[in-house]
């Protein structure tokens, strides 16, 4: 149940980012809501399986930059979600790296706030 709640939190955070960030766009046609939920599932899967590998591989760079490189990793995860969404024709478009960087910051902030409100854990296996 916690995974479903986390996907819903990610969907809400993605929606806020699409509304706020100029380089993020989502095609809202008649049946947009289920496609947006599929984008949130893709985003959750990318963050669950690809992001940890990249964090391990880039650990030395993250140490040197005092953790700021993690923002780049988050932006790359959003860009990867955009590429997968484009290939599956789900409707999420990420214009460039800067839009992905700003979008990942918005998603992180909104997701953390929503997770605190609903009680969903942002880290697998850990609760607040």
Residue boundaries of the structural domains of the chain = 2-118
Which residues 6+ apart lie within 8 Å of 73 measured at CB?
Answer: 51, 54, 55, 58
Give the pTM: 0.85
Q: Provide the CA 9 distance to its chain's centre, in angstroms.
A: 10
What pLDDT digit, counting tens, does each position of 60-108 carry? 999 999 989 999 999 999 999 999 999 998 889 999 999 999 999 999 9
Instruction: Give the Cα separation of 30 and 113 in Å (integer).
Output: 30
Binning the chain into helix, strand and coil, the percentages to the nearest 5 are 70, 5, 25
């Amino acid at each position: 149940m916690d995974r479903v709640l986390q996907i819903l939190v990610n969907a809400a955070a993605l929606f806020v980012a699409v509304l706020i960030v100029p380089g993020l766009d989502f095609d809202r046609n008649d049946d947009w809501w289920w496609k947006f939920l599929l984008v949130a599932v893709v985003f959750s899967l990318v963050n669950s399986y690809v992001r940890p590998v990249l964090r391990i591989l880039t650990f030395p760079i993250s140490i040197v930059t005092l953790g700021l490189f993690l923002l780049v990793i988050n932006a790359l995860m959003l860009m990867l979600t955009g590429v997968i969404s484009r290939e599956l024709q789900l409707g999420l478009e990420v214009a460039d790296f800067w839009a992905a960087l700003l979008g990942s910051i918005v998603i992180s902030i909104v997701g953390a706030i929503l997770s605190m409100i609903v009680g969903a854990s942002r880290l697998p296996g850990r609760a607040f």
